[in-house]
A and B are shown apart, each in its own frame.
Chain A
Amino acid sequence: MNIIKLFQLEWMKMRNTLAWTLIFVAPSVVTLLQFFIILKMGVGDPKDGLSPWTPFFQQTMMFWSLLMLPLFITLETALLAGLEHQESHWKQILIQPVRRVEIYAAKFMAAMALMALSLIILWASILFFGFVLVWIRPAYGFQHNAIPWLSALAYLGLSLAASWFIVVIHQWVALRWRGFVAPLAFGVVMTVAGFIIIQTEYRDFYPWAMPGWLIMGFSKGDLILRPLIFGMAGGLIGSITAIWDLVRRDVV
């Protein structure tokens, strides 16, 4: 059995679950809030000649990366792991004729795929609310400016790469410990600590601050390499370590 087939099974299991609903709801809520802020405050100064899509997209990405993303990862990974923890489903899955390494690798892949999908939904919701603004606030000029596809792709790619490490850490915690409380408490504590650490010099190395810090820098025109490299390296090394640990564990 190959990992791709197991990856497809992970998607099958997610049908009609809260984890699946959240992928659509969480990004849409962030964009909706940003939409209301724009309605109230406007979007930049039209005389600057800048595309209103850019601040709309940048501000939404900042909001997402700094606050929602770490909490979203916490919830998603806990809910995904909960699918197997409920009714002790591990004992059914791990006695199938499939190598454990492949089972866990597929789970880590599925979690990252969910993150990618949530970013696509985020982008789609920005487009949707942008077009709503064309209709209800034509003075903002969304209709006169091209949609920044390349810039959007760069933001989404950077956010995904920098969040890999957090996804791995949270999934490891969620898969290792049964129940919802421990992973949730861990995620909330780490996210709140991130708000403080992002203001310090350690923000390049703190996984929960990396995506926010990277996006903040990128929106000012700087590509800050350290959080990007640490996020990806941490994701890779963390995945290997987590899978190694999970494969060796007893299923009680």
Chain B
Amino acid sequence: MNNKAIYIENLCKSFGTVHAVKGLNLDVPGGCVFGFLGPNGAGKTTAIRLLLGLLKPDAGMLCLFGQPVKHSTPAIMRRVGALVETASSYPHLSGYQNLDILRRMRDLSTSSIDDVLEIVRLKDVANRKVKTYSLGMRQRLGLAGALLGRPELLILDEPTNGLDPAGIREMRSLIRKLPDEWGVTIFLSSHYLSEIEQTATHLGIINEGALIFQGTPGDLHDKLTGQCVIGVDRPDEVFALLTAWGINVEYSEGRHLILPGTAESDLAILNARLVQEGKAVFHLAYVQPTLEDHYLAMTEEDV
């Protein structure tokens, strides 16, 4: 367990009658960029708050760097930096003063502030009050706070929330360069697969408080299976014919039929047989779903 940055076993947390996290298991190896995916309300933020000791679990085991997490665990938290949802700051203070408060709490030198300001490119506006910052600048300041002291584990909870496309791109490029420059393990939560897909080396998908997939993006790709789609003039007749031939068939939009169990290589033979039977085929395709489709299917299945 010691080479694991995060280890979660059978974690549960409820708020009254709402079961936010239900028997969550998670295994995050050190040095990776772990994408923690799930739709809104899936339990991502609750899981992260449990990880950071902000919430007490009802049941289960939760370890960071092989050590159990409880309230007030300064030794562990010194190795962790986090940005939970939107960045928070004291708007009446400058960016530098905000970071200075966090620096002092971590017993770091003043040079650590300059380091992180450089990374998030806020050095020029560091002495401006935070209330004059844009949302993107505030998020970057939050990231700077999380990076103070070069943590071994960086936990980012939907860091692009509320950002415009330019801000999202900027934040993404920052996150992408951190593992190389700092050698840090990143635990990145999001409800956008596209965001995770571009950065993560490992994936975990959570839905309704439980993990429904864990592996690499490659593993998820391997799970993708395509399906044949045909367009015919008389779908009812073709449906009956295909069913008689023992082929699994479903109605789709308009005059299209889906053949879930049919391989791409069988399409040509199928087309020839239909033509022989006098059925006009105007569309023939093998559709490969995207990761996004698969992710949506996985998370919607459970709902």
In the assembled complex, the CB of A8 is this many whole angstroms from the nearest CB of chain B, namely 8
Q: Is the contact region of chain B dominated by helix, strand, or loop, or is it mixed?
A: loop
> Does A92 interact with chain B (Cβ within 8 Å)?
yes
> Does A226 interact with chain B (Cβ within 8 Å)?
no
Whether A12 pairs with B97 at a CB distance below 8 angstroms is yes
Convert A12-23 into 0s and 1s, putting 1 for each residue whose CB lies closer than 8 angstroms to a CB of B: 110111000000
Known: A9-B104, A98-B74, A98-B105. A91 touches B97 (CB 8 A): no
Interface residues in B91-132 (C-beta closer than 8 Å to A): 91-93, 97, 100-102, 104-107
Q: Tell which of B81-89, B191-199, B239-247, B248-256 binds the partner.
A: B81-89
In the assembled complex, the CB of B55 is this many whole angstroms from the nearest CB of chain A, namely 5
Whether B88 pairs with A89 at a CB distance below 8 angstroms is yes
> Does A94 interact with chain B (Cβ within 8 Å)?
yes
In the assembled complex, the CB of B245 is this many whole angstroms from the nearest CB of chain A, namely 58
Interface residues in B184-214 (C-beta closer than 8 Å to A): none
Interface residues in A198-252 (C-beta closer than 8 Å to B): 247-248, 250-252
With a CB–CB cut-off of 8 A, which chain A residues contact B54? Answer: 91, 94-95, 250-251
Convert A82-114 into 0s and 1s, putting 1 for each residue whose CB lies closer than 8 angstroms to a CB of B: 010011110111111111110000000000000
Whether B72 pairs with A88 at a CB distance below 8 angstroms is no
Whether A95 pairs with B89 at a CB distance below 8 angstroms is no
> Does A1 interact with chain B (Cβ within 8 Å)?
yes
With a CB–CB cut-off of 8 A, which chain B residues contact A86? Answer: 91
> Does A40 interact with chain B (Cβ within 8 Å)?
no
Known: A1-B107, A99-B74, A250-B56. A16 touches B92 (CB 8 A): yes
> Does A47 interact with chain B (Cβ within 8 Å)?
no
Within the assembled complex, what's the spacing in Å between the Cα atoms of A16 and B74? 30
> Does B223 interact with chain A (Cβ within 8 Å)?
no
Within the assembled complex, what's the spacing in Å between the Cα atoms of A43 and B82? 61
> Does B49 interact with chain A (Cβ within 8 Å)?
yes
Whether B92 pairs with A97 at a CB distance below 8 angstroms is no
In the assembled complex, the CB of A18 is this many whole angstroms from the nearest CB of chain B, namely 9
Whether B74 pairs with A95 at a CB distance below 8 angstroms is no
Interface residues in B214-233 (C-beta closer than 8 Å to A): none
Among B52, B71, B78, B107, max chain A CB count under 10 A is at B71
Known: A97-B106, A99-B74. A9 touches B90 (CB 8 A): no
Whether B105 pairs with A96 at a CB distance below 8 angstroms is yes
Whether B72 pairs with A247 at a CB distance below 8 angstroms is yes
Query: Which residue of chain A has its CB nearest to the CB of B88?
Result: A87
* Selected contact of B55 from candidates A88, A92, A251, CB within 8 Å: A251
Within the assembled complex, what's the spacing in Å between the Cα atoms of A5 and B103? 12
Whether B89 pairs with A87 at a CB distance below 8 angstroms is yes
Among A6, A89, A95, A251, max chain B CB count under 10 A is at A95
Whether B53 pairs with A95 at a CB distance below 8 angstroms is yes
Whether B77 pairs with A96 at a CB distance below 8 angstroms is yes
In the assembled complex, the CB of A59 is this many whole angstroms from the nearest CB of chain B, namely 36
Known: A250-B54, A251-B54. A95 touches B72 (CB 8 A): no
Closest 10 pairs (CB-CB, A-B)? A97-B74, A87-B88, A97-B78, A251-B54, A96-B105, A97-B77, A99-B72, A89-B88, A250-B55, A95-B52
Contact surface of B with A, Cβ cutoff 8 Å: 15, 49, 52-56, 71-72, 74-78, 80, 82, 84-93, 97, 100-102, 104-107, 142, 145
